[in-house]
Chains A and B, each alone.
Chain A
């Protein structure tokens, strides 16, 4: 991976009336990597994205995309980016082919090259047959794929994806993830906003968490998870087992105080395998039955909850 930055934002600020949407956002995305921009609704994700894609001017701060200033050199930025949005911005009353051809013409690729590129993209997104149909007959997943295809018409080195899979079923989501992964393998830099932490975990090399218009955490998914602690053993005790006795017995085996909720005993551990053997042996000796035992790694949900004080889905207002 090259060390040059494909996207760089310094102290971005934006105010809407009394609301400070951005209060000094900083971003750095190395070329060829994927940055996941996470945050609840209203955190400033979409505002940041709109500034980076030249749709909105910041009140203060600077941003460079592909080395060009988004405020002073917007045309140069636009020639090097692709944007796919959460609202699937394609024309419902055109066919899939016509949509892609239109975008190609507006990139000034010329008629023949636009048509050829439209055909290629429809094929690689599995839309060749659907390409002759009006988009209003498409399913949600097909629209998103077409939207992503439209963002790729000019083969941009940098791609901005605004909640690309929000509202999609699992199958469409997997298909879209696969498409994005193969683009990244081909060297495309991606900035992705999402509320879906699973998505960020799968796709992003690094994650930036924003809340109330500022960056509150930054790191790889693993680094962020480490911030909320290590693995936990979760032991489901058999019906009628003495939970208090079990709690006392395993206390010395973990790397923190155990907790009991109903019949589930939760124990922080650092060395999982040894701990599992110890716990099972100790409880078995004491005649305490175990129904199930599992290890749980912290998820980005845990990270999010800890950092923002609320879960990813229940934000306040739209950004």
Chain B
């Protein structure tokens, strides 16, 4: 397989995944309405009860909630892969003289574009409800890059989930059950110091906290408890580990 064909297969399948999205209104809602709803709920319902010393709650919340939405953006990959397996499209692809890995790399690449849409929607809504960047343009751009990297890494987590689950519905449920606690036991929505003592080390060492702190540092200039550089390191690590797991799983599933 020539490198040019590999690349072309990945792009063709990414375009296919992106094309499907506007045709599935439930998915589209997942990208746009749902994150907006979360921002509004947290800012206006919970925000008043959460104390974030030295920072308005909206400035505290927006970087965290965007990281969360990037993490969950990959659910399209889980759903899509589970559906392709169930409907027999995976067999069609595999009977073609195309790159084998493109089925996975095309999917995860498509997530980047949907994550961009989410990111734009959330930043606009965030600004409308009072979020204010407190850093320079270069830092903001670095933060946006980091967010997309985080999203890409978790797309591989979802690829693994999609290939492991028995159906698209199960993939959805499994992804939610695994990742929801991870994103909430973190610094995304409340300061870690407000949690019970036994939970604080868990939240502090959660890679998701590392990513949220880094995003906060790059958007609103809070001192990150951990080094900003740890966030991309974690992201790349997660992408590599779950990428390998997903590829192994892919081979296993197809050998049946």
- Stretch binding the partner chain, chosen from B16-24, B144-152, B218-226: B16-24
B227 within 8 A of A: no
Q: Which of B1-28 contact A (CB under 8 A)?
A: 1, 5, 8-9, 12-13, 16, 19-20, 23-24
In the complex where A56-B255, A93-B20 touch, is A106 in contact with B96 (Cβ < 8 A)? yes
- Stretch binding the partner chain, chosen from A75-83, A221-229, A253-261, A281-289: A75-83
Is the Cβ of B95 less than 8 Å from the Cβ of A134? no
- Stretch binding the partner chain, chosen from A84-92, A172-180, A265-273, A293-301: A84-92
Q: Which of A89-138 contact B (CB under 8 A)?
A: 89-94, 98, 102-103, 105-108, 134
Is the Cβ of B8 less than 8 Å from the Cβ of A89? no
Is the Cβ of B95 less than 8 Å from the Cβ of A78? yes
Residues 40-63 of chain A, each 1 if its beta carbon lies under 8 Å from chain B, else 0: 000000000010011111000000
Highest count of chain B CB atoms <10 Å: which of A50, A82, A83, A108: A108
Instruction: Report chain B residues within 8 Å CB of A102.
Output: 12, 16
A150 within 8 A of B: yes
Instruction: Report chain B residues within 8 Å CB of A90.
Output: 89, 92
For the complex, give the distance between the alpha carbons of A81 and B95 in Å: 8
> Which of B16, B20, B91 is within 8 Å of A55, CB to CB?
B91
In this complex, how many residues of chain B approach chain A with their Cβ under 8 Å: the count is: 25
Instruction: Report chain A residues within 8 Å CB of B13.
Output: 106
Is the Cβ of A87 less than 8 Å from the Cβ of B95? no
In the complex where A75-B1, A88-B88, A89-B87 touch, is A106 in contact with B93 (Cβ < 8 A)? yes
In the complex where A83-B91, A87-B87 touch, is A106 in contact with B9 (Cβ < 8 A)? yes
Main secondary structure of the interface of B (DSSP, over half): helix
For the complex, give the distance between the alpha carbons of A57 and B88 in Å: 18
B254 within 8 A of A: yes
Instruction: Report chain A residues within 8 Å CB of B136.
Output: none
B247 within 8 A of A: no
For the complex, give the distance between the alpha carbons of A36 and B241 in Å: 46
Residue of A nearest to B11 (CB): A105
Instruction: Report chain B residues within 8 Å CB of A89.
Output: 87-89, 91-92
Instruction: Report chain B residues within 8 Å CB of A78.
Output: 95-97
> Which of A55, A94, A106, A107 is within 8 Å of B19, CB to CB?
A94
Residue of B nearest to A74 (CB): B97
Instruction: Report chain A residues within 8 Å CB of B12.
Output: 102, 105-106
Residues 173-216 of chain B, each 1 if its beta carbon lies under 8 Å from chain A, else 0: 00000000000000000000000000000000000000000000
With A50-B91, A89-B88, A93-B23 already in contact, 5 other A-B pairs whose C-beta atoms are closer than 8 Å: A78-B96, A94-B20, A98-B19, A106-B12, A108-B5
**Chain A residues proximal to chain B, CB less than 8 Å:** 16, 50, 53-57, 75, 78-79, 81-83, 85, 87-94, 98, 102-103, 105-108, 134, 150
**Chain B residues proximal to chain A, CB less than 8 Å:** 1, 5, 8-9, 12-13, 16, 19-20, 23-24, 87-89, 91-98, 254-256
